[in-house]
Amino acid sequence: MKTGHEVVEIDCAERRVLVRRLDNGSELWEPYGQLLIATGAVPFRPDIPNAQATGIYGVHTLQDAAVLRRVLDEQRPKRGVIVGGGYIGLEMAEALIRVGLEVTLVDRSEQVMGTLDPDMGTEVTEALRCFGVEVHLGETVKEFTASGGVVTGIKTDQRTVAADMVILGMGVRPNSSLASRYGIPLGEKDSIRVDNGMRTGIDGIWAAGDCAETFHLVSRKPFYVALGTVANKQGRVAGLNIAGGEAVFPGVVGTAVTKVCNLEVARTGLQEAEIARLGLDYVSNIITTTTRAGYYPGSGPIHVKLLAEKGTGRLLGGQIVGSEGSAKRIDIVAVSLHAGFTVEQLIDLDLAYAPPFSSVWDPVQIAARELVKLI
């Protein structure tokens, strides 16, 4: 293993890569038998005034987190602005609230958590406001303000917000430019196109992780998602196959989960916008119930949304927002999507019940019982 080196050219014909030493810039051609591209993703940074000011932080590497920790401990900032209301934005909102900052979150969309439908995203926005986060939606950050090279706040198309620190959670892009430059085909969102064995189609070249495409088992279409779960599974399959195996990674159903303060948020499958794009006719509902038997200590609210194809009843997706004990229930929906179950089949599932864990009908099944009436 070589750290401090970077591949700057790929020569597929000669099966070799040009490796540059980062310390002195010297370069060397290295031959390869099999080449795995696992270059990950790059966090998006907007190209607006003062984007390079001190006090604007991305959250990508462990090192980024260590820097943030040190800044929080040593500089004791009072006001934090978070740009972006996705997983990173929400998790950082919790982190900053916990250490006592005033937190403002800005997102150009009309909702936080764009991977939820608007009706469920609203639940998260409301909760954020309850936690004391000032949330501004439908606003685009036009510039960072700075004084002496240090950030002093942001300007959106609607307001100015003062801040001692700004955290960017604006999503990532697959780091596929090198691959693309040397003729390796790209797919969804410019991720590296791979088959279900992680082959790029160029002999001896493989790709896996946040730089690589995957397949969506519900839409039956190529898909891109930058998540550790998917990256791990792809890495395992690539490794097995490079070693001569015949492993297959069938794809994902789009499962993701996060937590902000005491609110748990989870989703899987297709959301309404995706279903509409596929031209499918669908039904959906949202139920509100409790995470445990209503009388049991610690029972709290949970909202479950299910989506299914009209007519066939085939399950298409699910979203959960609720208190402690809510989120991992999304796995019931995720496994059911893998199995191709209908909503009726969800009702029949023999799920675990005892008062500390669930109602007699799991909340997911309560949603299914209501939704089945609309199929």
**Site for its own copies, rule CB under 8 A:** 87, 91, 217, 227-230, 232-233, 249-259, 264, 266, 268, 325, 327-332, 334-339, 341, 345, 347-354, 356-358, 360-362
HSE value, Cβ hemisphere, 13 Å, CA-based, for 14:
9
CA 346-284-302 angle, to 5 degrees, is 70
User: Is 160 or 229 the residue whose CB approaches its own copies more closely?
Assistant: 229
The answer to whether the CB of 289 falls within 8 A of the CB of 363 is: yes
HSE value, Cβ hemisphere, 13 Å, CA-based, for 8:
12
Tokens standing for residue 217: 């088992």
User: Is 79 or 267 the residue whose CB approaches its own copies more closely?
Assistant: 267
Whole-Å CA distances, 242 to 13, 94, 203, 359: 19, 41, 12, 47
Q: At what angle do helices 118-130 and 87-98 cross, to 10 degrees?
A: 10
| In the complex, least distance from residue 163 CB atom to its own copies, rounded to whole angstroms | 26
Buried residues in 45-80 as b, exposed as e (16+ CB within 10 A): eeeeebbebebbbbbeeeeeeeebeebbeeeebebb
User: Is 150 or 354 the residue whose CB approaches its own copies more closely?
Assistant: 354
| In the complex, least distance from residue 357 CB atom to its own copies, rounded to whole angstroms | 6
User: Is 152 or 241 the residue whose CB approaches its own copies more closely?
Assistant: 241
Tokens standing for residue 195: 């088959």
| In the complex, least distance from residue 157 CB atom to its own copies, rounded to whole angstroms | 32
| In the complex, least distance from residue 214 CB atom to its own copies, rounded to whole angstroms | 10
- Residue whose entry in the numeric block shows the structure tokens 């969102």: 189
Helix ranges restricted to H, 203-303: 228-242, 272-278
Residue 336 CA to residue 342 CA, distance in Å, equals 8
User: Is 87 or 144 the residue whose CB approaches its own copies more closely?
Assistant: 87
| In the complex, least distance from residue 100 CB atom to its own copies, rounded to whole angstroms | 18
| In the complex, least distance from residue 355 CB atom to its own copies, rounded to whole angstroms | 9
Neighbours of 338 (CB within 10 A): 16
| In the complex, least distance from residue 6 CB atom to its own copies, rounded to whole angstroms | 26
